[in-house]
Amino acid sequence: MPGILVYALHYEGAINKNSLGAVSEAARLAGELGTEAHAIVMGGDDLTDDLCASLGRYGAAKVLRAKGPEGLAQPVVDAMAKAVADGGYDYALFGGGLLGFEIGAGLAARLGAGVTMEVTAVNVDGGRLVAERPIHGDSSISSSRYKGFGIIIGRLNAFETQEAGSGAATVEDLDVELSEWSTRATMVKRGEQRGVDVDIEGADLLVAGGRGLGKAEGFEMLEQLAGTLGGAVAATRAVVDAGWFPYAAQIGQTGKTVAPKLYLAAGISGAIQHKVGMQSSENIVAINKDANAPIFEYSDLGIVGDLNKIVPKLNDAIKVKKGG
């Protein structure tokens, strides 16, 4: 009997890594529950048998393939609601990210189901799933149990991708009649998110930006400086939460831990939750207009001043030095 249904997003012939993590997690949990993990995909002809069946490597026993626009929430809600009605699933699991949040919330409204977002761990207790979610600024954990159908949406990349399955999944086409309102939106353009493909943890040199940049565009000058130095750009949680830079670049307690040769922090106060992710850097240079900013307490070199003036000058000076 099928137990957990996972939405798997695909793009340009590949399943999204975050979705593979969710499939792996569902397979692990289904194993403990004595049920199965199934995946559901939506798209066009690029959803080949091979691509769908490949989810078996991550533990999906079956893949439901629905025809419809990829990357839009409401058509997927239609497909998942139908699959749940047909298949008797107990849970839906998502890997997180904005699309997962939107589909999961839509499905919860459609089915009158309980939903937990930003989940960082899922356990089995008494034959039912329990979702753990950090609350109060990540200082405590709340546990959610579900009376009926449960929807669990992970924090982005919270679930580890694991090739646990033995081989190919069965692929089944799912006929869905899309609701009239589900087809009103169309995908106009799909953009690349800056910085996602950059190996922040492996970089020797990081130029990190915080709220002191003032706006998302402030990151452009950091990208120029990182380009001149041959490094990568990182960020604080405050700015990724504000949508100024991708989550993939977040350093700190709830982000990545790095130890580059040089960590240049611009407009970062140096909160403890940020410090724990970068304090092992060989050299820390901080630019902050507040001479009392905590980051200066653990910097090797501190520059007190306006980053808008200092960063472009630094970039020019390094260019001259490199050219000379």
Among 113, 176, 234, 239, binds ligand FAD (CB under 6 A): 239
CA atoms within 13 A on the CB side of 159: 34
Is 92 or 284 the residue whose CB approaches ligand FAD more closely?
A: 284
List 250's β-bridge partners, or say none.
Answer: 235
Residues 38-77 that bind ligand FAD (CB under 6 A): none
Asked if residue 44 lies in contact with residue 58, where contact means CB atoms within 8 angstroms, the answer is no
Span interacting with ligand FAD, options 30-38, 72-80, 117-125, 205-213, rule CB under 6 A: 205-213
CB 2 within 8 A of CB 26: no
Q: Which of 42, 61, 287, 314 binds ligand FAD (CB under 6 A)?
A: 287
Check residue 118 for interaction with ligand FAD (CB under 6 A): no
Euclidean distance between CA atoms 243 and 219, whole angstroms = 12
Count of residues binding ligand FAD (CB under 6 A)? 31
For ligand FAD, which residue of 212, 219, 245, 299 counts as binding (CB under 6 A)?
Answer: 212
Q: Find the shortest distance in angstroms from Cβ 324 to ligand FAD.
A: 28
Are the beta carbons of 230 and 205 closer than 8 angstroms?
yes
- Told to check if 299 binds ligand FAD by CB under 6 A, we report no
Q: Which residues contact 295 (CB under 8 A, 6 or more apart)?
A: 265, 268, 269, 270, 275, 284, 286, 288, 302
Identify the residue among 19, 24, 250, 281 touching ligand FAD (CB under 6 A): 250
* Residue closer to ligand FAD (CB basis): 38 or 237: 237
Q: Which residues 6+ apart lie within 8 Å of 23 measured at CB?
A: 6, 8, 37, 39, 55, 58, 59, 60
Binding interface with ligand FAD (CB under 6 A): 137-139, 210-212, 236-239, 250-255, 267-269, 271, 273-274, 277, 287-290, 293, 306-308
